[in-house]
Structure formats: structure tokens, C-alpha cells
Amino acid sequence: MPPYVMYVGIGYDIHRFVKDRKLILGGISFDHHSGLSGHSDADVVLHAIGDAILGAASLGDLGEHFPDTDDKWKGISSQILLNKIMELVGEKGLRVNNVDVVFISQEPKISKQKKEMEKRISELLKVDPERINVKATTNEGLDSIGRSEAAAAQAVVTLTHNS
């Protein structure tokens, strides 16, 4: 094996906005009039990151590990799911090197809580906050995201061997 191997994964998630549900993004609660609908807490940011990590480690996807048909995962915090993913990755002798994630939504604006999200994600992944990048964009009024009916996230993650 070469002295330094990098594994790359990509993740994507989308959920509908619904009334009377707390909005959680990147493990942080947002004061917003709607939350995201899902079997778990519907944290699209952590879901995209989790899927990217699983992909980089060749461990399948979120749906395989945490199916929405299993009541065991109903309402669960995505932070717990991410912890379980990190255990699986650790068992393969891998660790997160860096994360780049984009939140895609017309609202809410995340700029004021972006650093807090990066810090929380770094804690969950046990990686320096300098290796976590969170950004946001809109869909310029196009499709369900542009009409503020949904929010999505995409993530790219690199993994390396534990040293």
C-alpha cells in the first residue's frame, strides 16, 4: 500500500419543510418558522456528510444502515447516526481528513451560525475545525428548493488511514 492513500466520498440529501418542527442543520438548532420532515431529525447537512463518509469508506449509504422503515431510528438525532458512522469507519482503520459541505436553500440564511456548525461537525468527526468547510447557496427561486418547499445539502469528504 502507498504511504498515503486518500478516499473520497460524495453525499446528498433533501427534505421538505414542514410547520411545527424544529430546524436542525449541522447539529445546530435554528430559529426558523419551519423544520425539515424526515424519519430522523432530518438534518440534511449531517445526512449529506454521513453519506459521503460511508461512500468514501465503501460502506454503502445511510438508507442501508438506518432505514426509514425501522422505528428504531424514528426521531433520532442525526448526531447519533454520525457517531455510529464514525465507529464503522474507525473499525476499517480510517479517519476523516476533511469535509466540504454546501447547504442549498432559499432560507434560512446560515452565515451567522456557520462557524458554530463547523465547530459542532468537527467535534462529531473528531477533526480540527480548520478541516471543516460549510457554505450555502440558493436555487435562485427555481424548483422546490427555490420555492422554499425544501432544503438540500451536498458534501464531499476525504478519509485517510489512522496513523
Which CATH number covers residue 55? Answer: 3.30.1330.50
Percent of the chain with pLDDT over 70: 98
Assess if residue 96 is contained within a domain.
yes
Convert the pLDDT of each residue in 123-139 to its tens digit.
Answer: 999 999 999 999 999 99
Report which secondary-structure segment, H or E, holds 152: strand 150-161
Residue with cell 430546524: 23
User: What is the β-pairing status of strands 28-30 and 132-137?
Assistant: unpaired
Total domain count for the chain? 1
Assess if residue 1 is contained within a domain.
no
Structural domain of 126: 7-161
The sign of the torsion formed by the CA atoms of 33, 36, 39, 43 equals negative
Q: How far apart are CA 145 and CA 127, in angstroms?
A: 31
Stated pTM of the model: 0.96
